[in-house]
Structure 1
């Protein structure tokens, strides 16, 4: 009985364990279904893995193949490059700038005197250094006659500040300039001017005919003068032609004068200037004129705000002595030429700029505050530039009052994200052995940039520690500025531009609104000076500038500029 019960229990246990309802058996079946898939599922899984593996192996093989094919082609192309694609600077050329600059020696062949006077207490505010080619005599002469002429600067500065003062209270709520309105005003002005000219001209012609018929004396006739705008209505008069017909030498002894006689009585045979001046001082009629003469002398003796010098190298051909002789004559006549002993070429522009920094450091270290480096095809709006630098100097002096802080200012037209040009036919070609980076550092356009005297010394010291690179603006304002001590950050200034000037009228208003204008030939330089000396043209340009500023403050324009910065390399 007991055995039967034991057998029953064992059988019952086994039956329960082996039954379909047993949880152990159920889990075992589920485990078997997951761990051991069917042959069809296994075949599909292996097929998927094999396709992915084959695709990965194929891609890897193609990448390796392309790399292996590119390496010999690249090496072959590199070997085919000539060694001196950058003329004068091959792979074997020593690029240590100290070898060419010779910092411990005086390398200037000729240099001006009294440009930077170290003994004067007042510093020269601005020194403009024009990097000019040896053969550009016309460009240098045009600069001396236009924006480099200090007398013309004084006149144009008065007009510039007068028109600025006229519109200083403009609140940008309306447009100052409209092309339609200005066209109507100009047309009506010209018509009125022509009518007034005829109304003045006809009575004068009638009176002249009447005088000829009656043959009366004209000594007591009051003098009539035409306005300056009416010179076009007057007949042409050739002074040389009229005087050429005279055969008798006129006698001037009968002319009475309250100034002097030519020569003064008693000094006909003794043209001693000191005695003549002493005689004039004793004349009672001249006493009232002496203060005016003194004022004119004082104005002429005022220290100028800026000076202009031209930096040149040597002519390219060793046997070209004619150009060198003309440069020597030019230097002796004007006294504003700095000539260094290197070959003047495009690939040596960096060397020219380093020589500029060297000359300023050695001759104008503490006697000048700002320096402008520019080219001989640039028109410089000197009143605009000096006004800009005055504001910057005033802000710096107010912030550093009572301290001996040094001013590190480097401003111009900032260029960002520029990449080396690998096309050997391009003007700005840069081979790998000259610059191995992918992107140039931020730099200022070499057409014109302004720097303080402390920056000039810092850049000069950095240039002596930096390998030569033939693109001047990238080397000076990018590489050397980054390696200077302290590090100098080039800043963008909207008044500087390397864009071409364009036509006469747009160029005039562009030159008025900015400090620099590029690609200006000598004849256009003279034309711009005449246009900017016209009050009406200057007034029109100022209204155009303010109206454009008002339009740029619009929200849509601000959004446009923001989107343009995102998709372009602008700074």
Structure 2
């Protein structure tokens, strides 16, 4: 009850929703603000972890062999001492062909071939390798041989032995024939040369999807050949590929460097006899690396003090399968050659009616300075030259 001049003993309390409004203004709003900040912070942290963790494992796998993706057949804890596999003091060849080289051999061409590639070897024998059996070139004898591994299959092995008896040009060593064993295969080639073919002045290594112009190669070696020669398509400044999905993946436990030494492409290169012997000796004391051209013509060549050199007649690319192109004096190799196509172009190359006059004119633009014709043979870009 109200009384004049007397203060009220109590007041009517504020309306509840007014108090809540004041509470929200004074207490609840700052709390919601802090919560919002925390949510943003933890969301940001979560996304940062999503990015960082894969990067951490990627870097860790590159530098830590335990966590790196292994090369098939060459895990980080497997010995890469080549002497354990090459057995330099033992005879390891399944098919040795000890009489293949003979006494006077100018050039030996060894084609590294997969066991199952019977058709590729047949096509090579019928085409560019047929020159070797007829080439004398002033007593400059040439032989072509095919190097195989062990198929671990009795049926395939019987077929290989029949092929060897029929043609006498198959060399077979006792290792599993696989892509990641190509280094082992090439070192086995050097072992065979060391054991059975010291009479050869030059040795060429190539693959069974290659075309080789033997006559042009002989002419080249007569001019540029000599001790210390290691010649092919020079590759400079190449970096190891750390992507495990790549065919050329190179984990750090296999190769710790950031850049490969200069090397020549394994699709086709030629070396002098002294280089073959030196590379073989150095390889026996150098840990295996599965990319054979990098290993042998890069890592081992550097250790041996051998300098790989470039010549544009070699290429790891595919040239146009035109008889006039392949008959160019500067052409030595072409890569990724289809065997059916090879047979066709080989027939055309040796046809009496072949006329390359128009082709030669188109490939020899006139030099403004001299007025002379300049030959231009194209191949894939190369930062070395």
User: What's the TM-score bracket when you normalise by the shorter of the two chains?
Assistant: 0.7 to 0.9
- Offset at residue 373 of structure 1 (A): 0.5
Question: Which residue, 211, 224, 229 being the options, matches 1:392?
Answer: 224
Normalized per residue, the structure richer in helix is: 1
Confirm or deny: 8 A CA contact 1:84 1:91 kept in the other structure. no
Q: Counterpart in 2 of 1:103?
A: 88
- Offset at residue 510 of structure 1 (A): 3.1
- Offset at residue 338 of structure 1 (A): 0.6
**Which residues of 2 match residues 520-559 of structure 1 at below 5 A?**
520-537=337-354, 539-540=356-357, 543-544=360-361, 547=364
Q: 1:77 to 1:310 in 2, by over 3 A?
A: closer
| Cα separation, 2, equivalents of 1:553 and 1:335 | 52
Consecutive aligned runs of 4 or more in structure 1 exceeding 4 Å deviation:
69-84, 151-155, 548-554
**Which residues of 2 match residues 378-457 of structure 1 at below 5 A?**
378-393=210-225, 407-457=227-277
**Which residues of 2 match residues 331-350 of structure 1 at below 5 A?**
331-350=164-183
Q: Counterpart in 2 of 1:298?
A: none
Equivalent residue of 2:97, what SS?
coil
TM-score, structure 1 normalization: 0.53
Q: Counterpart in 1 of 2:280?
A: 460
| Cα separation, 2, equivalents of 1:423 and 1:382 | 38
- Offset at residue 462 of structure 1 (A): 0.8
Q: 1:303 to 1:108 in 2, by over 3 A?
A: farther
| Higher relative contact order structure (alpha carbons within 8 Å, sequence separation ≥ 6) | 1
- Offset at residue 570 of structure 1 (A): 3.2
Q: Counterpart in 1 of 2:33?
A: none
| Cα separation, 2, equivalents of 1:346 and 1:549 | 46
Q: 1:455 to 1:326 in 2, by over 3 A?
A: same
**Which deviates more, 324-333 or 74-83?**
74-83
1:510 equivalenced with 2:325 (yes/no): yes
Equivalent residue of 2:354, what SS?
helix
Q: Which runs of 5+ in 1 are unaligned?
A: 1-64, 158-301, 397-406
| Cα separation, 1, equivalents of 2:361 and 2:149 | 41
| Cα separation, 2, equivalents of 1:501 and 1:528 | 12
Confirm or deny: 8 A CA contact 2:86 2:184 kept in the other structure. yes
Q: 1:81 to 1:96 in 2, by over 3 A?
A: closer
1:474 equivalenced with 2:291 (yes/no): no
| Cα separation, 2, equivalents of 1:342 and 1:84 | 23
Confirm or deny: 8 A CA contact 2:233 2:264 kept in the other structure. yes
Question: Which residue, 301, 324, 329 being the options, matches 2:162?
Answer: 329
Confirm or deny: 8 A CA contact 2:65 2:76 kept in the other structure. no
Q: 1:492 to 1:328 in 2, by over 3 A?
A: same
| Cα separation, 2, equivalents of 1:90 and 1:517 | 34
| Cα separation, 2, equivalents of 1:86 and 1:131 | 21
| Cα separation, 2, equivalents of 1:546 and 1:387 | 21
Q: 1:549 to 1:374 in 2, by over 3 A?
A: farther
Q: Which runs of 5+ in 2 are unaligned?
A: 1-47
Equivalent residue of 2:364, what SS?
helix
Q: Counterpart in 1 of 2:130?
A: 149
**Which deviates more, 141-150 or 438-447?**
141-150
Any idea what the Cα deviations from partners look like across 1:420-454, whole Å, max 9, x if unmatched?
11111111111111111111110000000000100
Q: Counterpart in 2 of 1:126?
A: 107
Any idea what the Cα deviations from partners look like across 1:184-227, whole Å, max 9, x if unmatched?
xxxxxxxxxxxxxxxxxxxxxxxxxxxxxxxxxxxxxxxxxxxx
Any idea what the Cα deviations from partners look like across 1:149-178, whole Å, max 9, x if unmatched?
1388559x9xxxxxxxxxxxxxxxxxxxxx
Rg larger in structure = 1
